[in-house]
Amino acid sequence: MDNRVWNLQDGSGLAAHWPLDEGRGATAADTVSGMKDIVSYALLQARFTDPADPQWRPGVCGGALLFDGYSTWITRKAAGAPMLNDAFTLSAWVAPRSYEWGAEKRLSAIVNQHDREAAEGYVLGMYRHGSWSLQLGLGGSWQELWCRHRPLEKGKWSHIAATFSRDDAMMKLFLNGEQVAEQTTPLDTGMTPSGADLLIGKNNQATVLAEAFRHNMFDGLMDDVRIYSRALSAVEIAASYQEALLLHGGSAPAISPADIRLDRTPLLQDRHRPQYHASPPVHWMNEPHAPIYFNGKYHLFYQHNPQGPYWAQIHWGHWVSEDMVHWRDLPIALAPEKGAVDPDGVWSGSAAYDETGVPALFFTAGDDSAAPNQRVGMARSLFLQDGDGDLTDWVKHPVPLIVQERGQGLFGDFRDPFVWKEGELWYLLIGSGTDGYGGTALAYTSANMTDWTYHGPFCVSDPQQFPFLGNMWELPVLLPLGKDASGREKHVFLISPLGPDADVEVFYWIGEFDRVEVRFDPDHEEPQLIDVGDFHFTGPSGMVDPRTGRNIIFTIAQGERTPQLDYDSGWAHNAGLPVSVFLRNDGRLGVEPIEELESLRGERLCSLRDMTALEANLELALVQGDMLEIQVEFEEEEDPADRQGIWVRQSPSRDEETLIYYDRRSSELGVDREKATLSMEERTRGVQSGRLDLAGEALRLHIYMDRSMIEVYANGLKSLTTRVYPSRTDSLGLRLQGSGKAKIRSLDIWAMKSIYL
């Protein structure tokens, strides 16, 4: 039976009803028409992991569908959509997981069939900070009814309903059975229908972002979506709300964190996703930051978009670990908030101990209503009140700690505060620039953590001599290195350049920190690189580990993939492994992976000593893997023109392989990815290399392979971080490179264990 005819015959006016009780599969049944509508989801036709259904969860009236925020929506083709004109009601139970920014001032649609520019159809959806709205086209005009004073709460069930009546010339909104907003409409004017498809969870005029992605998507749980072809009364809406609660003792059921959290389970078998590197459960991350040790646990935060695997609406994700290796996901620590210091984004920062010894977070607070829109915010842990050792509860300071003034750096570029405490004084560095003198970090001090004194630029460089340092420095980090051979106290100062001609890597200087002037005096003018992997080792943060005294650096490992591949995969980027940096006896910076990583070793797959590369390769023919730790030490070759190295991720026919090498003639550590993948979609190609002077030492490579991740540490002096995405599932082989006379002193290989299984 045609559902439009049925609607005219049915006294209740129920035109469509999706209970969302399926519990499995990729269709959602409409009990009125009997139609089964398609549920979209990125992993239904998974390209790199096992296919998975959309995520179904318990609801209020039975089951519910969990919308992932970027790829989950329900489609009803326009030809089968309910005919609405003079009156209608839209209702649903919703539990948002996050709030979208509202690109182009469009709603994150809950249910819609509209064209705003043509003033046709309707959309019911959410906006910034949980505000929500009914919008529709009437007589050539676009009408908007808003509820801003009663936002939809994250992680909690809310029943929403919206009505329109031509006879009453009225639009109304209802929240949990109570009317919360109304607005008159033009007299004797019905809604102009739209010919678009009816979508649930996706705006059918969604804003395009980064090719594959669309904004204006709903993120969270949804249950019992209904459309009526008449305007229900307030009494009927209240009764519908109360009836649903009868099964739960009169109150909306609490949602288990496991039912609404971001779930990494569907991605655990992704053949490119690292399994022993820290990563968000799903979706996007930028740099990890704000590491701190407290009460026997390491805490690490990260820039995160809970809405999808693309850059937008940044929050602070949160991990905790007892060893900096096995990380556990915690709820989002900081989110942008209306009425707080950060309504438009919680950007990078750091952590430091407050006057009671409890961690405090310092962050870049985004507020687009202010100029400049980047300020320093702070959040205090509630540990002393709740005793939560996971530090999941934070309260933000009500006003910015520091607001940039003209004359203090490059006005408008003021972000990434790095804070530490020495004695009774707190120090703060923040990334900025200088007029005509390139990038800098600005220095401040405070005796109470809330009132800060400006001391000027911490360190500057010559932009003419070093144009690759850009005109602005992000993510400044200062760490103590102890005394050098002459007894002088040394520090390492790290930055990430930004701006025209900038090389976005992690650069550093070794030098001396003047605490009186709050200045840094480098020992060398030219900055040095820690990592030579070309944009894969970025976004530095650091801490002094109070348990061991080591300086630990954390970074992001960039993913390098196209937006479409990120969309199909459901994740983008991960953290690099924690790195210990120290002052060597020769005055150079030492760079080593932390020793706790040995806890990830599984079976020893290979252990060879004193043999030629040809002999070793006979043994390596039996070794395969994409999650390995490799330690190899080479003998020096008589002919320095020959490279020493190892092929990894090699297919049996060698049509896919990646070479990690050291060239003694050019003193370069490099990776050749020209044959890393046969896929034309992947971007991982080319040679990445940088200078490494071994000063006569035998080459020692310490390699960590974790699916698409490769990290190489050479002689405790340099690292090389890169990515490879082989298209073949059998690209798992290893092979040493070298001439017929090439020899190794040792070769050890271990299978590595996942930190998530």
Exposed (0-12), middle (13-18) or buried (19+): which is 279, by Cβ within 10 Å?
buried
Mean pLDDT (whole number) for 244-270: 96
In sequence order, the 6+-apart residues with CB closer than 8 A to the CB of 227 are: 14, 15, 16, 17, 82, 84, 88, 89, 90, 111
Question: Please, which pLDDT band fits residue 742 given cuts at 50, 70 and 90?
Answer: confident
**Residue 671 in this model has a pLDDT that exceeds 70:** yes
pLDDT at residue 210 in the model: 80
List 253's β-bridge partners, or say none. Answer: none
Q: What is the pLDDT of residue 437?
A: 80
What is d(CA 743, CA 645) in angstroms, rounded to the nearest whole number?
11
List where CATH 2.60.120.200 sits in the chain. Answer: 76-255
Asked whether residue 739 carries a pLDDT value surpassing 90, the answer given is no
733-737: strand order across its sheet: 687-691, 668-675, 657-663, 643-650, 733-737
CATH topology of domain 280-403: Tachylectin-2; Chain A (2.115.10)
H helix runs in 546-690, sequence order = 563-569, 613-620
Residue 491 binned pLDDT confidence (cut-offs 50, 70, 90): very high
Rounded Cα distance between 92 and 525, Å, is: 63
Contact (CB, 8 A) for 81 and 114? no
Mean pLDDT of the chain: 95
pLDDT value of residue 757:
85
pLDDT at 639: 60
d(C-alpha 248, C-alpha 251), whole Å: 6
696 pLDDT tier (thresholds 50, 70, 90): confident
CB burial string 604-613: b at 16+ within 10 A, e below = ebbebeebbb
β-strand partners of 65? 56, 222
From the list 245, 239, 264, the residue with the least C-alpha distance to 161 is 239
Topology of domain 601-752 in CATH is: Jelly Rolls (2.60.120)
Helix (H) or strand (E) holding 240: helix 234-245
| pLDDT at site 1 | 29
CATH 3.30.1330.30 fits 76-255, yes or no: no
Sign, CA torsion 85/88/92/96? positive
- Mark residue 571 as left, alpha or beta (left: phi above 0; alpha: psi -120 to 50; beta: remaining): beta
Look at residue 6 in the predicted model and tell me its pLDDT: 33
| 219 vs 313: CA distance, rounded Å | 13
Number of neighbours of residue 598 by Cβ within 10 angstroms: 11
For position 529, what pLDDT does the model report?
A: 97
**CA-closest candidate to residue 310, choices 397, 227, 231, 214:** 214
Question: Percentage of residues in the chain with pLDDT exceeding 70?
Answer: 98
Indicate the SS3 state at residue 32: coil
Structure tokens at 511: 């030098």
- Short-list 252, 198, 253, 207, CA closest to 225: 198
Phi, psi of 341, rounded to the nearest 5 degrees: -75, -10
- The confidence score (pLDDT) of residue 636 equals 80
Evaluate if residue 481 carries a pLDDT over 90: yes
Residue ranges of the chain assigned to CATH 2.115.10.20: 280-403
Lowest mean pLDDT of 71-75, 238-242, 299-303, 662-666, name the range.
662-666
Report pLDDT for 534. Answer: 87
Sequence-distant (≥ 6) Cβ neighbours of residue 195 within 8 angstroms: 78, 120
Burial 357-396, CB ≥16 within 10 A → b, else e: eebbbbbbbbbeeeebebbbbbbbbebeeeeeeebbebeb
Say yes or no to pLDDT of 258 above 90. Answer: yes
CB 511 within 8 A of CB 520: yes
pLDDT in tens, 527-575: 999 999 988 899 999 999 999 999 999 999 999 999 999 999 999 999 9
- Per-residue confidence band for 211, with pLDDT thresholds at 50, 70 and 90: confident
The owner of tokens 């003419």 is 464
User: pTM to 2 decimals?
Assistant: 0.96
pLDDT digits (tens, 9 = 90+) for 4-52: 333 333 458 999 999 999 999 999 999 999 999 999 999 999 999 999 9
pLDDT digits (tens, 9 = 90+) for 636-652: 865 655 789 999 999 99
Average pLDDT of 500-507?
Answer: 93
Residues 6+ positions from 698 with CB-CB distance below 8 Å? 633, 634, 635, 636, 745
Q: Report the alpha-carbon distance of residue 473 to residue 349 in Å, rounded.
A: 14
CA distances from 434 to 460, 491, 508 (A): 8, 23, 19
As annotated, the residues of the chain forming the CATH 2.60.120.560 domain(s) are 601-752
| 168 half-sphere exposure, CB direction, 13 A CA radius | 14
Q: What is the separation of C-alpha 471 from the centre of its chain, rounded to a whole number of angstroms? A: 26
Residue 423 burial (CB < 10 Å; 0-12/13-18/19+)? exposed
Containing 494, the helix (H) or strand (E) segment is strand 489-498
The yes-or-no verdict on residue 2 having pLDDT over 90 is no
Distance CA 626, CA 224 (A): 44
* DSSP H stretches of helix in 547-631: 563-569, 613-620
What does the alpha-carbon distance between residue 441 and residue 508 come to, in Å, rounded to a whole number?
A: 13
Q: State residue 7's pLDDT score.
A: 38
Residue 741 pLDDT: 77
How many other CB atoms sit within 10 Å of the CB of residue 407? 9
Q: How far apart are the C-alpha atoms of 122 and 143, rounded to whole Å?
A: 9
- Is it the case that residue 337 has pLDDT exceeding 90? yes
Strands 219-228 and 14-18: antiparallel
Please, are residues 743 and 611 in contact by the beta-carbon 8 Å criterion? yes
Q: How far apart are CA 743 and CA 634, in angstroms?
A: 6
